[in-house]
Amino acid sequence: MGGRRFAKHSGLRAAVHRDLVNPERSMPRGGGPSDRLVESRQRADYLELVAFEAGEVEKMIADAESFVAELDRVLHGRTAKRGAPL
């Protein structure tokens, strides 16, 4: 992302969509997984008594791992194994 820093999550989210989730960068799953994670974080931070079911959390973890691996592929041209550190 060019060494940029972001003061707010919304700025990072916009930059991901603008710079990475587009036809030229071709992230096949697009920003959907990251958007769902951001929305879940916002629910947990700003609503009272939010609870997530175990299955939801497992899906969030899988989505996060997949999104990070896809970012790594797009930014560095390499393939990451699921669960392996990048």
Q: What is the pLDDT of residues 16-50, one digit of tens each?
A: 777 777 655 556 555 677 778 888 888 888 888 88
pLDDT of residue 55: 95
Give residue limits of the domains in the chain: 9-76
Cβ partners under 8 Å of residue 78, min gap 6 = 72
Q: What is the CA radius of gyration of the chain?
A: 14
Length of the chain: 86
- Among 60, 15, 17, 21, smallest CA distance to 39 is for 60
- Among 67, 51, 80, smallest CA distance to 16 is for 67
What's the distance, CA 79 to chain centroid? 17
pLDDT of residue 31: 66
Separation in Å, CA 48 to CA 8, 43, 45, 85: 22, 8, 8, 34
**0.85 exceeded by pTM:** no
